[in-house]
A and B are shown apart, each in its own frame.
Chain A
Amino acid sequence: MDRRKALKKAGLLAGATIAMPSMFSLLQSCKSETRLDWQPEFFTEEEAKTISALIDTILPATDTPGGLDVKADMFIDKVVAHTYDAEGQKYMRDAIAEFNQACKEKYGAIFPELSNSEKIEVLKDAEANSPKFNPGIWGTSVGEQEPVGFYRSMKSMAIWAYFTSEEIGENVLSYDPIPGTYEPCKPLSEVGNRWSL
């Protein structure tokens, strides 16, 4: 795929011509400083920082743990290192590079070095321009699936990594490994959060 197409898929080209920083980010003139405190198996430091920053923007810590609290970034690194073939790894590497290149063109820096408000602008644009996943039944999606692009793929991976972490899966989501009975129409208030399994 050529770069322009890739950027378009990542939603970073359409409407990206005006690179005027917002008032908020002008006031917040200093760029974010990030330092990696873990050793990736697959990602370069810059790639790892990008993934971490994406996860932190999509799933920030609130009164519940954020994506980085459950090491979603480290898990994604491990997954790409050990379950992707060479082609898949290259695609991931190229997609991150394209994503950062677009950030540079618009904001003058790669994604992890942008201010919070710039990061939000980038992701809002990506969100608005990324195709969605088709519904799925029994393990596969149905209908003609448009490629969702880097942003939504990574968002999906981040959510997967988050939901399937032990902390979220056991303590934040509703966890019941051996339900016993099936209760077909239970008031939501008696369950709370979505089932983790």
Chain B
Amino acid sequence: MANFNIDAKKDMTYDAIVIGSGISGGWAAKELCEKGLKTLVLERGPIVEHVVDYPTMNWDPWDMEYRGGLTPEEKKKHYKNIRSGWVGKDTEHFWADDAANPYTEEKPFLWLRGHQMGGKSLLWGKQTYRWSDLDFEANAKDGHGVDWPIRYKDIEPWYTYVEKFAGISGEALGLPQLPDSHFLPPMELNCVEKHVKERIEKNFEGRNLTIGRVAHLTQPHNGRGQCQNRNRCSRGCPYGAYFSSNAVTLPAANATGNLTIRPYSIAQEVIYDDTKGKATGVRIIDAETNEVIEYSSKIVFVNASALSTAHILMNSTSNRFENGLGNDSGELGHNLMDHTYRVGAIGKIDGFEDKYYKGRRPNGIYIPRYVNIDEKTKSDKFVRGFGYQGGGYRGGNPANVDTFGADFKDNILKPGQWEFFITGFAECLPYHDNKISLNKEVLDKWGQPTLTIDAEFKENEKALNKQIQEDAVEMLEKSGLKEVMGFDKEHPPGYGVHEMGTARMGRDPKTSVLNEFNQVHAAKNVFVTDGACMTSSSCVNPSLTYMALTARAADHAVNESKKLNI
């Protein structure tokens, strides 16, 4: 593969600038480049070239000096990230440096960031689900937040468009609340998962258990290899078998010859020209030299991730926008949402002792939303709904086996007890007072203001979580599991890593930041298509929707540009 053009010295002017190279930024770059626009991608961190820059991709535990453990220095660097439970020696280089990039938690909030080319597209969970009109109409129906300016029919062709390129595997179910994607063959359920599926579908009308719909290739696709079931995704996949900007969209953008990607470029602000009435470029700080540089463009896509995007816009002040670019409504930085996380049930199951599996399938099961989907399933305890992820596996902590010595050792060399768990993801309502704000007291390594995050789950989310746990215990018990244990880690927002809503789309400029094509209402050549744009949170994973909205917005941007409207 050709190396990326990182020489942004020759040209200070581009047709388009994209801030950020994660899931949505990568898509923006691909679409804009393929439509012939000279595009500059500004990336805060280093270049991570597919395969070449995946140093840990083939490491076995014994290849790491401390078999995955981090030193106290590394733990200090990741003192917030490690709360997630995911940061080990194999991936720590892809998690942002918390010490250099501080943030203030007014209330507990875990903000997980990926400061490198590809961003969190290297680290994400790959669960990919279409949203439905149940989601797009939710705000209008129950009166929370503002109405989405789009409906399913507006985004449906763009779902198909991005799915065909990205490659999504899954099983078609024909459910109105979880529309089917354009699928590659589904991954397979193991025998315990099949057993639980049969029991749940028999015992609970309207509930389904299916294999997770994921951005993993189950067959070769567009020149990329299929999943080899190593489950080492977050280190970078040598086969390009899961969707990341690094493996999929940025190489496509690069192939056009129109892409320049500038690493170590911290976007400080979008430059707005009061006389022209539009944005004219982006001002950056070079993270290595501290040099401040301005790049010009006709179109700016802000895809820095939900909180960072709002941060950049809040930092972008002018005579016209004293409180941040596009913030006429006062909603910029507000309505922060995430999904609830790690609440569900786990149990053990007998009867499958002679069965095992081969391969580490990087995917689990999914139970689509079944509450509040129609009159019959309406809850009087909460609005909106939840879905579950989970899975069955032979686990059992060998340290819990209550013996030791020779027989014990022989015993633990054998696979452990079959276990099965489900964990819910509940929709979070958009609350104006769940917000971020600029903090000029706490500065980052580059002397820039940081963010204060002030958000919490409220009564509706707590009621959803209560139902998630009760239903989970009931489903597992009725599926023949034993020692079923309900749990709720009571994680604050952030743990779901689905931050959304801080520059929401809407029909009315008085109550929203973006219009129906993700344009800033009052600066139409500025587009936001990452999590910041989301008007509600649904209960399903949002990344596929970011991809589709981005492709749609890029198409609109180019059309409007051709018509000289922006």
**Is residue B160 within 8 Å, beta carbon to beta carbon, of the partner chain?**
no
Q: Using an 8 Å CB-CB cutoff, how does the interface string of A30-74 with B read, 1 for contact, 0 for none?
A: 000000000000000000000000000111101010100000000
> Restricting to B479-524, which residues have a CB under 8 Å from any CB of A?
485, 487, 489
A173:B359 contact, CB within 8 angstroms: no
B352 → A minimal CB distance (Å): 9
A187:B356 contact, CB within 8 angstroms: yes
Q: Which residues of B contact A84 (CB under 8 A)?
A: 72
> Restricting to B402-421, which residues have a CB under 8 Å from any CB of A?
402-406, 408-410, 412-416, 419, 421
Contact of A180 among B65, B342, B344, B359 (CB under 8 A): B359
A132:B86 contact, CB within 8 angstroms: no
- The closest CB in chain A to the CB of B63 belongs to A166
Contact of B355 among A85, A136, A176, A185 (CB under 8 A): A185
Q: Which residues of A contact B346 (CB under 8 A)?
A: 135, 137, 142
**Is residue A93 within 8 Å, beta carbon to beta carbon, of the partner chain?**
no
**Is residue B354 within 8 Å, beta carbon to beta carbon, of the partner chain?**
yes
Q: Using an 8 Å CB-CB cutoff, how does the interface string of A109-141 with B read, 1 for contact, 0 for none?
A: 000000000001001000110001111111110
CA of A135 to CA of B398, assembled, Å: 11
B228:A85 contact, CB within 8 angstroms: no
Q: Which residues of B contact A134 (CB under 8 A)?
A: 485
> Restricting to B352-367, which residues have a CB under 8 Å from any CB of A?
353-361
CA of A197 to CA of B358, assembled, Å: 11
**Is residue A143 within 8 Å, beta carbon to beta carbon, of the partner chain?**
yes
**Is residue B440 within 8 Å, beta carbon to beta carbon, of the partner chain?**
no
Q: Using an 8 Å CB-CB cutoff, how does the interface string of B74-87 with A read, 1 for contact, 0 for none?
A: 01000000001110
B413:A64 contact, CB within 8 angstroms: yes
A184:B85 contact, CB within 8 angstroms: no
**Is residue A156 within 8 Å, beta carbon to beta carbon, of the partner chain?**
yes
B354:A187 contact, CB within 8 angstroms: yes
**With known contacts A139-B84, A169-B61, A181–B359 Cβ distance under 8 A:** yes
Contact of B409 among A59, A133, A181 (CB under 8 A): A59
A177:B60 contact, CB within 8 angstroms: yes
B405:A139 contact, CB within 8 angstroms: no
CA of A85 to CA of B82, assembled, Å: 15
B359:A164 contact, CB within 8 angstroms: no
CA of A84 to CA of B229, assembled, Å: 33
A127:B397 contact, CB within 8 angstroms: no
CA of A83 to CA of B193, assembled, Å: 37
Which of A12-20, A97-105, A188-196 forms part of the interface with chain B? A188-196
Q: How large is the interface on A (under 10, 10 to 19, 20 to 34, 35 or more residues)?
A: 35 or more
CA of A155 to CA of B409, assembled, Å: 11
Q: Which residues of A contact B188 (CB under 8 A)?
A: 182, 184
B70:A179 contact, CB within 8 angstroms: no
A127 → B minimal CB distance (Å): 6
Contact of A194 among B355, B358, B416 (CB under 8 A): B416
**With known contacts A57-B404, A183-B359, A194–B191 Cβ distance under 8 A:** no
B414:A193 contact, CB within 8 angstroms: yes
Q: Using an 8 Å CB-CB cutoff, how does the interface string of B220-238 with A read, 1 for contact, 0 for none?
A: 0000000011100000000
**Is residue B187 within 8 Å, beta carbon to beta carbon, of the partner chain?**
yes
Q: Which residues of B contact A193 (CB under 8 A)?
A: 413-415
CA of A109 to CA of B210, assembled, Å: 58
B329 → A minimal CB distance (Å): 37
- The closest CB in chain B to the CB of A85 belongs to B72
Q: Which residues of B contact A142 (CB under 8 A)?
A: 342, 346, 485, 487, 489
Q: Using an 8 Å CB-CB cutoff, how does the interface string of B183-202 with A read, 1 for contact, 0 for none?
A: 00001111101100000000
**Is residue A172 within 8 Å, beta carbon to beta carbon, of the partner chain?**
yes
Contact of B342 among A127, A137, A190 (CB under 8 A): A137
**Is residue A82 within 8 Å, beta carbon to beta carbon, of the partner chain?**
yes
CA of A85 to CA of B71, assembled, Å: 8
**Is residue A1 within 8 Å, beta carbon to beta carbon, of the partner chain?**
no
B66:A188 contact, CB within 8 angstroms: no
CA of A78 to CA of B487, assembled, Å: 35
CA of A179 to CA of B359, assembled, Å: 5
Q: Which residues of A contact B85 (CB under 8 A)?
A: 138-140
**With known contacts A83-B72, A133-B397, A133-B399, A182–B358 Cβ distance under 8 A:** yes
A83:B409 contact, CB within 8 angstroms: no
Contact of A164 among B61, B75, B408 (CB under 8 A): B61
Q: Which residues of B contact A127 (CB under 8 A)?
A: 402-404
Q: Using an 8 Å CB-CB cutoff, how does the interface string of B339-353 with A read, 1 for contact, 0 for none?
A: 000101010000001
CA of A177 to CA of B357, assembled, Å: 14
Q: Which residues of A contact B355 (CB under 8 A)?
A: 185-188
B60:A179 contact, CB within 8 angstroms: no
CA of A123 to CA of B403, assembled, Å: 9
B342:A166 contact, CB within 8 angstroms: no
Q: Which residues of A contact B357 (CB under 8 A)?
A: 182-186
- The closest CB in chain B to the CB of A131 belongs to B400
Q: Which residues of B contact A91 (CB under 8 A)?
A: none
- The closest CB in chain B to the CB of A168 belongs to B413
Q: Which residues of B contact A79 (CB under 8 A)?
A: 66-67, 69
Of the candidates A84, A142, A170, A188, the one having the most CB atoms from chain B within 10 angstroms of its own CB is A142
- The closest CB in chain B to the CB of A70 belongs to B62
B485:A135 contact, CB within 8 angstroms: yes
Q: Which residues of B contact A195 (CB under 8 A)?
A: 360, 415
Q: Which residues of B contact A173 (CB under 8 A)?
A: 413
CA of A141 to CA of B85, assembled, Å: 9
B392 → A minimal CB distance (Å): 10
**Is residue B423 within 8 Å, beta carbon to beta carbon, of the partner chain?**
yes
B342:A138 contact, CB within 8 angstroms: yes
A160:B356 contact, CB within 8 angstroms: no
CA of A153 to CA of B356, assembled, Å: 28
**With known contacts A127-B403, A177-B58, A185-B357, A83–B70 Cβ distance under 8 A:** yes
Residues on B lying within 8 angstroms of A by beta carbon are: 58, 60-62, 65-72, 75, 84-86, 187-191, 193-194, 228-230, 342, 344, 346, 353-361, 394-395, 397-400, 402-406, 408-410, 412-416, 419, 421, 423, 485, 487, 489
Q: 3 closest Cβ contacts across the A-B interface?
A: A139-B85, A182-B359, A156-B399
13 extra interface residue pairs, beta carbon distance < 8 Å, beyond A82-B66, A185-B191, A187-B355: A135-B397, A137-B344, A138-B342, A143-B487, A161-B67, A164-B62, A164-B68, A172-B413, A179-B359, A183-B357, A187-B354, A189-B354, A194-B414
The contact sample of 18 A-B pairs, CB cut-off 8 A, is A58-B404, A62-B409, A78-B65, A79-B69, A85-B75, A123-B404, A132-B399, A132-B400, A135-B397, A156-B399, A164-B68, A176-B358, A176-B359, A177-B60, A181-B229, A182-B357, A187-B355, A197-B61
